[in-house]
Structure 1
């Protein structure tokens, strides 16, 4: 990927008050939109002076459509389409747009065939090695900037201290507040060196909930003392060191505001974030189409107005821009509008007037490999048995979920142990087993995508054979495998080729497990 987008400078124009309000809106735009939808967005940007847009893959992949089970169309030319649409939307704008995207683990979070880096939970397994996280932040920032996206809505600084969390989980660096702060700071430092804007999220902390705010309103029922001690700690420390923006999540904190979710709570935005924590930068909402708040404000424009009056500066994923502008113009003072406008304008100046040039991005393989060498984590309940398994005529069992299992292929090539699918394993075999597992999904919904038969078969194999398990996926998967105290597990975290290559080196004994489990599991591995 190389830089193909032009650079922009802010014009010396005088905007009307209504146009200033338009600068506070960030509608969603989609790679796979139709030409009709693209033209409608161009018209909206031009006529209402929209200040920013946020790119998503497709309307079908939007998180609020989970329950709709809409088919997501794969687009081999997503990156080219991204460049094309950014160019078109910028041309439609009188004032250059800030182009935002969620690239927590790279553009690949939204765009096919672009570099992908490890999830935050994988980086959370690093013991120190903050320079590797800085390199990831810098690489992602370079990729964003080369594409023409100046604003990466990352990192997630939520402390994931609830194993049942359906939406944060693997997106968090872990469940320790100091580790989350330090690793977030390293990621931000890397992004900043690339000239890419950041946004820490989801204030005031989305980690300790089992509710997905895309679909319902999570309740975080904790005292201010508890929040300051844990959830708010990374936000406070990062604000003190300087960040570009804070994204406010859709959460109800009854001890702070029993009536309003954080999105529309002046007690949380204006009092806690602004006054108590001293943040004077841009405050951006989480997506306003999310059901946690959208269903509570059915009248068009009312949610945007409520969020703005509570202290919000940028209204992300507003589906009612025109009505939102009208409501804010009717209800907000000129002084309040100018406050938010000046913050957004300052952010645009910072982005468009800096000298940092986007660097060409190389393949992420080498950086991913270096990370893999430091994060592989050994959770051995019976360490003496590990070498016995490796030195035996073990069975090479693969649960690949349709993915390429080069780890098992390497074992077959080097040891002559033919790959056996789980369903073909004989029930009466007595051999030792090396079991490589590739979960179908990274999110915990529906048992990480495992069908009930496969999960039951895994439980049976673990119970009867005590296999050596290599898990290429979310470590929370271990909580559904019914592991025993003497189970032996190697956490590899990612299925990337680089991680599979390093995992095989680990199997050969050429690489040692240097990582540390970054979270508390419900049933296994926490004391190892």
Structure 2
């Protein structure tokens, strides 16, 4: 089993990074704004990563649009998901924009040989400081409809979908990057409201992967969702019937800190049910995971392969792809109107 997704420091790989990319526990790399100067440099970095990994590796990024868009110069400016419904004249227009935005996002990343953007956000816009306009709507049914259209756009380009942050981060104010959010609402409120987009999209077989939140839902379990067998095994797998990949949110976030050090967090996340774990922005801590994690369960190469992009879907260069050009124009017009 290769469960670890790591980050890299800059525009090129360091000697240390070249060495650890070939470690038998490394399944992928997540890129950030610090890894991007221009498109040519980004493509060369991705090529380096694949060369030194010596096996199939998932190259990923958070590239949702709005304030969470890691690459800018040379990439289409993507609207925030929340703006699609608030600035559209109809649901039909919003759905078209969601599909177009996802297709442009996915196709431009795939053109740089990047497999996966961790999207869409399925949280319902509520009181959360970190979610806000990253969510499609304050209405659970609108979130489901818009996310479904967004996933269609991703899949049309050849990219797998990752629903986050299960079972919903929108109803807690604190940011799990810097705090441990606690949601004290009843299980009934969470199941019938926040979790509904996840449940509906799982039922319709739309989601390839799910990223659980670092939120404690105190009336359900004492552990944050990403470390909770209750949430990942009993609810996500058994109750909802999810059979895809479970990818942890970054275990370096403060919301994961009370589980212990990074190695303990990795062990607990895997034990709870995570197939892949993100360990970012703390290279020494990530190395303790590679040095200390003992994996004895089944190989997950098939799961890794299922998340790699289907680059055959984009057989033409972007400039010759009519749907990309039409979708991009739709977004540019939308951005200008906003």
Q: TM-score range by the shorter chain?
A: 0.7 to 0.9
Separation (CA, whole Å) in 1 of partners of 2:133 and 2:68: 15
Aligned to 2:164, which of 198, 201, 221? 201
Deviation at residue 354 of structure 1 after TM alignment: 5.2
Separation (CA, whole Å) in 1 of partners of 2:307 and 2:332: 35
Highest relative contact order (Cα 8 Å, sep 6+), 1 or 2? Answer: 2
Separation (CA, whole Å) in 1 of partners of 2:100 and 2:91: 14
Task: Tell me the equivalent position of 1:247.
Answer: 211
Deviation at residue 346 of structure 1 after TM alignment: 3.6
Separation (CA, whole Å) in 1 of partners of 2:7 and 2:245: 18
Aligned pairs for 1:302-451 (under 5 A) are: 302-318=264-280, 319=282, 320-325=285-290, 327-329=292-294, 334=296, 337-338=297-298, 340-348=300-308, 351=309, 355-357=313-315, 359-360=317-318, 362=325, 366-370=329-333, 372=334
State yes or no: 1:221 paired with 2:184.
Answer: yes
Tell me, yes or no, if the aligned pair for 2:100 and 2:328 is still in contact at 8 Å: no
State yes or no: 1:42 paired with 2:18.
Answer: yes
> Is there any run of 5+ residues in structure 1 with no aligned partner, and where?
1-19, 60-74, 373-495, 501-528
Aligned pairs for 1:273-284 (under 5 A) are: 273-284=236-247
Aligned to 1:152, which of 95, 112, 117? 117
Deviation at residue 269 of structure 1 after TM alignment: 0.9
How well do the aligned residues superpose, as a CA RMSD in angstroms?
Answer: 2.4
> Is there any run of 5+ residues in structure 2 with no aligned partner, and where?
319-323
Deviation at residue 80 of structure 1 after TM alignment: 2.5
Separation (CA, whole Å) in 1 of partners of 2:316 and 2:275: 27
Separation (CA, whole Å) in 2 of partners of 1:226 and 1:218: 17
Separation (CA, whole Å) in 2 of partners of 1:110 and 1:369: 18
Separation (CA, whole Å) in 1 of partners of 2:301 and 2:85: 36
* Number of equivalent positions: 324
The two structures have a TM-score, normalised by structure 1, of 0.57
Residue deviations 1:131-185, cap 9 Å, x none? Answer: 23211111111111101111110111100122xx211001011110000000000
Structure 1 or 2, whichever has the larger Rg, is 1
**Gap change, CA 1:194 and 1:358, over 3 Å in 2:** farther
Deviation at residue 56 of structure 1 after TM alignment: 0.5
Tell me, yes or no, if the aligned pair for 1:219 and 1:252 is still in contact at 8 Å: yes
**Gap change, CA 1:106 and 1:358, over 3 Å in 2:** farther
Task: Tell me the equivalent position of 1:188.
Answer: 151
Tell me, yes or no, if the aligned pair for 1:219 and 1:253 is still in contact at 8 Å: yes
Q: Secondary structure at the match of 1:47?
A: coil
Deviation at residue 123 of structure 1 after TM alignment: 0.7
Deviation at residue 25 of structure 1 after TM alignment: 0.8
